[in-house]
Amino acid sequence: MTSAADYLPSTPTLDELRAAVEGCRGCPLYACATRVVFGEGPADAVAMFVGDAPTAEEDRAGRPFLGPPGRLLERALAEVGIDRTEVYVTNVVKHARGEPRGRRRTQCAPDDAHVAACRPWLDAELAVVRPAVLVCLGAAAARAVLGEGFRVRRQRGVFLPSPLAPHVLATVHPSAVLRARGEEARRVVYTRFVDDLARVAERLRAVHAGV
């Protein structure tokens, strides 16, 4: 497999990256996706949120964190005082893995080779945005960003050392809340998710205050 590195412009802006990713053939996923899903948000965002891969809805629209998971993320961020429009949101892999089946799409997780091939795009987004706080959403994103040794049960919700940003934390993906069975289970997963985001909000306040 080749790599996205061959398709990256040198010293790019976000707009240049967004244009270049349209032509990426760094792994086979471009051939089965409907649209590329690049990150969204201000180039000077202080916080970046990274999920694993585009959902079927994101694949159709070409935008990250749409549909029920996106709305839930927005609601949880609002609860802790973070405005979604002020943060940068993206995925580790920019094309969805799956294929059309009639009017629907099969959807499956990217494998390690896809994640590795696509990594240059995330590194380029990090290099442009240079967020003070980087938040991995879900175990797959956390392992892709923080390494295979990451364990979401033990390490979620705590700031971990990483060369990628001054403050790095992982929590669950908002879709974990939606997948929980039953109202009470969803409430518990959502509450812990909001607790983790509250730590992010607290750290952002400290960053803004220059602490």
Q: What is the Cα–Cα distance from 92 to 116, expressed in whole angstroms?
A: 9
Stretch that binds ligand SF4, among 71-79, 87-95, 160-168, 187-195 (CB under 6 A): 87-95
Residue 108 or 185 having the CB closest to ligand SF4: 108
Rule CB under 6 A: say whether 26 interacts with ligand SF4: yes
Residue 1 or 211 having the CB closest to ligand SF4: 1
CB 19 to ligand SF4: min, Å = 13
Rule CB under 6 A: say whether 96 interacts with ligand SF4: no
CB 105 to ligand SF4: min, Å = 16
Rule CB under 6 A: say whether 35 interacts with ligand SF4: no
Rule CB under 6 A: say whether 95 interacts with ligand SF4: yes
Strand partners, 70: none
Q: What is the Cα–Cα distance from 143 to 111, expressed in whole angstroms?
A: 12
CB 28 to ligand SF4: min, Å = 7
CB 57 to ligand SF4: min, Å = 17
For the record, the structure tokens of 26 come out as 């760094």
Q: What is the Cα–Cα distance from 68 to 192, expressed in whole angstroms?
A: 18
CB 154 to ligand SF4: min, Å = 29
Q: What is the Cα–Cα distance from 6 to 112, expressed in whole angstroms?
A: 19
Strand 167-171 and strand 133-137: pairing? parallel
Number of residues that bind ligand SF4 (CB under 6 A): 15
How far out from the chain centre does Cα 91 lie? 4
Rule CB under 6 A: say whether 141 interacts with ligand SF4: no
Amino acid at 184: E
Rule CB under 6 A: say whether 118 interacts with ligand SF4: yes
3-state secondary structure of 170: strand
Stretch that binds ligand SF4, among 83-91, 113-121, 127-135, 162-170 (CB under 6 A): 113-121
Please say whether the beta carbons of 172 and 14 come within 8 A: no
DSSP code, position 81: T
Strand 167-171 and strand 159-160: pairing? antiparallel
The site for ligand SF4 (CB under 6 A) is made up of 4, 21, 24-27, 29-30, 93-95, 114, 117-118, 121
